[in-house]
Amino acid sequence: MAAFDRQRRGPFPTLGPLLLVVALLAVPLASAAAAAAHQAASAGSRSSGPRRALFGETYGHLPATAAVKPRRHLRRQEAADSRPTIVIPIRPSALPTIPHVQLTSHGAASLSLQPADVTVSLDAATSLTFTTPRYFVSGGRPMPAAPDNQAQAQALSSTHSASGPLDNTTAAKQQKHRHQEPYQQQKQALLAPALVVEAVCGNFSIALTNNLPFQGVASCPDAPTKTENGPHDLEWTNLHTHGLKVDPGAVTTSGICDEAAATDLPAAAAGLADYYCNADLSSQQVCQVLGDNIYVGDRPYALGLAPGATLQYTYPMGGSPPGVGWYHPHHHGSGGIQVPTAAGPLIIPESWLPGGLPDLYEPASKAVTGPFNQLLGIMRAQPLELSTILRFDALWFRNTSTGEPGDDSIPFLGADPGEGNVSPLLYDVLPDGTAQPKYSNAAGRDWGLVNGAFQPTITLTDNTYARWQLLNTMTMKWLDLTFQQVLADGSMQPADCSIWLLGRDAVPLPLLPRRLQSKPAGATTAASDLILAPGNRADVLVKCNTPGTYVLASGAGPFHTNYTACQATHCELFGDVASASFGFPRSTNNLYGGRELDAAVLAVVQVAARDASVPPAEDLPDDVARAQLERFAYLNHTAFPQPAVEQCFSFMSAQYGGMCSVNNNLFQDTVVYVREGSHQSWSLRDITFHPFHLHESPIRLTSLPPCATSVTNMWQVGDWVDVLLLPTCQTGCPWEDAGSGGGNCGNPVTAEWVAQKYYSSGHRAHSPDLCAAAGFHATKPAASSTCQSRNSIFHCHIITHSDEGCAQVVKWYCADDPAVPNPVPLATCPATYTYSCMPDH
Ligand SMILES: *[C@@H]1O[C@H](CO)[C@@H](O)[C@H](O)[C@H]1NC(C)=O
Ligand SMILES: *[C@@H]1O[C@H](CO)[C@@H](O)[C@H](O)[C@H]1NC(C)=O
Ligand SMILES: *[C@@H]1O[C@H](CO)[C@@H](O)[C@H](O)[C@H]1NC(C)=O
Ligand SMILES: *[C@@H]1O[C@H](CO)[C@@H](O)[C@H](O)[C@H]1NC(C)=O
Ligand SMILES: *[C@@H]1O[C@H](CO)[C@@H](O)[C@H](O)[C@H]1NC(C)=O
Ligand SMILES: [Cu+2]
């Protein structure tokens, strides 16, 4: 077994005999007859794969002697027949658009996590069917659809004059879409709408209902004493607002809800261990949650929302720069299986800025006023919230070379059956304790989708800027995106296209635009490419200068991984896999034009010839605009209190042979202490395979290893990010860990941030000028002594790794908190070590 092949580790050092029961599989809800009938009904379309034995001795199930208590309420469930069947569009001639729903202070939106049957098929030999959770959104306020590319091109007919409002054609189009039901559009698509936060400087609400099917519990355990790591609670969920600057909300990890808000739920008490085991709980109770609280749970330590239950989240917000975040489940143990198909963009629109773009952008110098106006003209014509969203999803179903479900497949298809970690959506559990696969997977290949479609065609106009918002919700692999031309022999050559970065992870670049260029060692020419780790977003302009047919590819650009050495599904670049002789099937996206390519084709890019009367848009120089980030208190780094508190975190575990952990510890063995309001300076090591993600605050890069800055301008000191993976340092195994980990990187990454709730924190109350000008009255600074501790988190954004314990509680504590040790312990990295590959490499 390759060292990086899987993140699983066993025996789990943290497991005790009284672990939380994984209430999944022990007693199938359906009777044996019903299960048999279901299989008979689905036999036509499903393969009958091998039965897998369940229930090993170690994985979290209580001994059979534990009392089985009946559930008081049968939770409402969707019958299998009412599940929609979503057929993934194959190579559609247009990019599917993502519907938009506005979140205002008055209109709450409702999110339902519910199962859908998904079919994706190129042909009989290359098809996949499975059942998966996805979001369905109702409420909120429908928003006009994005103008199409042609309308944008018209609006951009001149590079320097396109600073006015959209032309009448586009406006008319938008009017037409205004009353179109965005909810209708979701039914047959794997796409949750983009939620557009209109309630900047105010509060908005989201109600989340878990409508996943419940498979039954074996037993009601005693109260668990410890959080479980590893895949578990696969039907439980919650909500994370990734990229939104909001209150972390959580007060404790042991309470049922926020203490302050738990009005109609009984206090956690001894013996209250499982939602379904507690006769006092009913599905009618709605728990109120403040902020981005991923620790909230309707049962202790489960940190999540049981099937049938609803949580009502309220998010108080200060002013934030426009940008794209995303919403997705973050329940510890089930995130890895839910997030790949349950996620949606979460947008702070430019329209909230009271004075428009000049509130945020100013010319970097007098000398660049011309190009600055050109840039603002393009941005005005294609506002962030209406510009084209490209959401990259992946369905992980890769087989191993021997035809077995591969490690890191969702939902743990490759988990040892003995561990019992199989998704109830994907397996029927039979009375004899074996599991029958409900999915079929002929080709055994991963699938990369763009906006829920396979290899859709995106239309551009030559020499014309298009603004894109890219979002990598692939939870395991990173992307190195380039525009390529596929030649007749299947080889690729770079297309005459460039990518300009405007912002990333919901924060504009300090100086923009930045024409992306990478030239790693060994590359002959520089390429304009975009590196996106799992969870990253990018606000970009793209421009292709020659009409023709191209592809947007990953794995054809300058960066590659040494798969032969690493053999890890998650250290790969998507599309850049071992040669066919290695035995692993490549992604389906490597199939294009009747050939198997060496890179993954995510989309076809059709560059149409522009109207001959339209002059070509000029290339934008770098750094013509300065973003006035200091107008947002949490981004005004010169005002952060000095000195910064220094802590260090390493994701690469010597103890576990290179697998992910936090300074050799697993969730929740340790806590990182962060005093509220303090300025933190963190060294991040070993993030070349494991993307670092901190909740509720972006981090500002203060130093970077030369292995990154010398080969690409993707990251520069001063940039803000909320997910960071430096694949540039990957040199393959064996490597020496010389600081930043993975490669011979030299210095570690350092990054700073300040632990502020922000919307109500005294003198740093939310950018009052912008909020007041936008018509919001600033929240009064809270009275003294209202500091309440908060529990936040950072983790590896390969979410299965996070589920497995590569995460750490970030405790925002108040100055005189008696529960915090004195002196406050600070995190330090393990001594530098040299990691070698496992002997069987
Ligand atoms: C756009 O519409 C306005 C108001 O209806 C009209 O005055 C103007 O002439 C129109 N402009 C174009 C370019 O059609
Ligand atoms: C937003 O919600 C918070 C927490 O419930 C509350 O303190 C605050 O007053 C609300 N703000 C507005 C503008 O409604
Ligand atoms: C891939 O694995 C599935 C079982 O998960 C099996 O049905 C299928 O035949 C395999 N395909 C290949 C090409 O190995
Ligand atoms: C990949 O790794 C293998 C094994 O360590 C090594 O022999 C090979 O030279 C590496 N290839 C590249 C291109 O670095
Ligand atoms: C940002 O911080 C600096 C340094 O403390 C301060 O002088 C400045 O007023 C702040 N900017 C804004 C817009 O609050
Ligand atoms: Cu990881």
How confident is residue 247, by pLDDT bands cut at 50, 70 and 90?
confident
Query: What atom in ligand 5 is closest to the CA of residue 636?
Result: 1
Q: Ligand 2, residues 263, 757, 779: which to mutate, most atoms within 8 A of Cβ?
A: 779
Say what the pLDDT of residue 705 is: 84
Identify the pLDDT of residue 516.
98
Tokens 């998904």 sit at which residue? 118
Which pLDDT value is given to residue 650?
87
The token duo for 121 is 């098929």
Judged by DSSP in three states, 734 sits in: coil
The CA 589 to ligand 3 mean position distance, Å, reads: 18
Q: Whose CA is nearest to atom 12 of ligand 4?
A: 562
Q: Two tokens at 823? A: 């002196």
Single out the residue of 612, 605, 604, 610 nearest to residue 461, CA to CA.
610
* pLDDT tens digit sequence for 467-526: 999 999 998 889 999 999 999 999 999 999 999 999 999 999 999 999 999 987 777 788
CA distance 693 to 243: 10
Ligand 1 centroid – CA 149 distance (Å): 21
State the ligand closest to the CA atom of 576.
4
**Residue-level pLDDT at 52:** 29
> What pLDDT is stored for residue 737 in this prediction?
34
72 pLDDT higher than 90: no
Residue located nearest, by CA, to atom 1 of ligand 3: 444
**To test ligand 4's pocket by mutation, which of 562, 731, 733, 840 has the most ligand atoms within 8 angstroms of CB?**
562
Q: Tens digit of pLDDT for each residue in 487-504?
A: 999 999 999 999 999 999
Ligand 5 lined by 636 (C-beta under 6 Å)? yes
Domains of the chain with CATH codes: 1-68+419-436 (no CATH), 74-144+179-213+230-357 (2.60.40.420), 361-397+439-626 (2.60.40.420), 628-835 (2.60.40.420)
pLDDT tops 80 at residue 15 = no
User: Does 292 have pLDDT greater than 50?
Assistant: yes
Of ligand 4's atoms, which has the minimum distance to the CA of residue 562? 1
* φ and ψ of 415, to 5 deg: -60, 145
> Ligand 2 mean position to 33 CA, how many Å?
52
Residue of 196 and 428 predicted with greater confidence: 196
Please calculate the CA angle 588-590-593 and round it to the nearest 5 degrees: 105
For the CA of 443, the closest atom of ligand 3 is: 13
The answer to whether the CB of 757 falls within 8 A of the CB of 251 is: no
Q: Whose CA is nearest to atom 5 of ligand 3?
A: 405
Instruction: Say if ligand 4 is within 6 A of residue 564 CB.
Output: yes
| Ligand 2 environment, Cβ below 6 A | 202-203, 314, 316, 779
Do 390 and 413 meet the contact criterion of CB atoms below 8 Å apart? no
Ligand 3 geometric centre to CA of 401 (Å):
10
Neighbours of 549 (CB within 10 A): 13
- Angstrom distance (rounded) from CA 477 to CA 799: 11
pLDDT at 212: 84
Residue 244's pLDDT band (boundaries 50, 70, 90)? very high
The pLDDT of 64-87, averaged and rounded, is 48
> Which ligand 2 atom lies nearest to the CA of residue 776?
13
Distance 537 CA to ligand 2 centre (A): 29
The number of C-alpha atoms within 13 Å of 674 and in the hemisphere containing its C-beta is: 32
Q: How far is the CA of 286 from the centre of ligand 2 (A)?
A: 19
565 lines ligand 4 (CB under 6 A): yes
Q: What's the whole-number average pLDDT of the chain?
A: 75
Query: What pLDDT score does 66 carry?
Result: 27
* Choice among 142-151, 177-186, 263-272, 280-289 with the minimum mean pLDDT: 263-272
**Secondary structure of 285-324 in HEC code, one letter for each residue:** CEEEEECCCCCCCCCCCCCCECCCCEEEEEEEECCCCCEE
Q: How far is CA 239 from CA 69, 99, 104, 489, 812, in A?
A: 29, 20, 18, 46, 20
pLDDT at residue 229, rounded to an integer? 81
Tens-place pLDDT, residues 575-601: 876 666 667 788 999 999 999 998 999
Atom of ligand 5 nearest to the CA of 633: 14
Q: What is the pLDDT of residues 77-105, one digit of tens each?
A: 444 447 889 999 999 999 999 989 999 88
**Count of other CB atoms within 10 angstroms of residue 411:** 28
Closest ligand 3 atom to Cα of 444: 1
Sign of CA dihedral 273, 277, 279, 284: positive
The ligand that comes nearest to the alpha carbon of residue 2 is 4
The pick from 48, 127, 395, 399 for probing ligand 3's pocket by mutation, whose C-beta has the most ligand atoms within 8 angstroms, reads: 399
> What separation in Å is there between the alpha carbon of 203 and the centre of ligand 2?
6
Q: Which residues line ligand 3 (CB under 6 A)?
A: 47, 49, 399, 403, 405, 441-444
CA distance 78 to 67: 28
Say what the pLDDT of residue 235 is: 78
637 lines ligand 5 (CB under 6 A): no
Strand-by-strand arrangement of the 749-754 sheet: 645-650, 679-685, 749-754, 699-703, 720-721
Secondary structure of 425-456 as H, E, C letters: CCEEECCCCEEEECCEECCCCCEEEECCEECC
- Position in ligand 4 atom list of the atom nearest CA 733: 5
Instruction: Output 579 or 137, whichever has higher pLDDT.
Output: 137
Can you tell me the distance from the alpha carbon of 340 to that of 474, in angstroms, rounded to the nearest whole number?
A: 6
